[in-house]
């Protein structure tokens, strides 16, 4: 799995981090804003809770065959 973060879209609400079953998403604060950060991408199970909970669409999960985001699709040639 690859977790793709669009930190400029992140509102810093923390819902994704709070509900991640593996606790691999953490909120970071750079002094100007709060945003989500990944602590251990290899532990991601691809459950998609973070994607579903993110109203700002700031997270996507890339699997071997495509993206899990607003909708699930297969990459061309898969």
| Torsion angle (degrees, nearest 10) of CA 46, 5, 9, 21 | 40
Q: Which fold has domain 2-74?
A: Alpha-Beta Plaits (3.30.70)
Q: Maximum CA pair distance of the chain?
A: 44
pLDDT at residue 63, as a whole number = 76
Taking the model in full, what pTM does it have? 0.74
CA–CA separation, 40 and 52 (whole Å): 20
The total number of residues written for the chain in this structure: 78
Tell me the pLDDT tens digit for each residue of 15-60. Answer: 999 999 999 999 998 888 889 999 998 899 999 999 999 999 999 9
């Amino acid at each position: 799995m690859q977790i793709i973060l669009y930190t400029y879209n992140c509102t810093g609400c923390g819902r994704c981090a709070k509900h991640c079953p593996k606790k691999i998403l953490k909120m970071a604060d750079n002094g100007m804003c709060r945003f989500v950060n990944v602590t251990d991408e290899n532990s991601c199970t691809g459950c998609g809770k973070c994607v579903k909970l993110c109203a700002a669409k700031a997270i996507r999960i890339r699997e071997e065959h495509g993206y899990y985001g607003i909708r699930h699709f297969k990459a061309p040639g898969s």
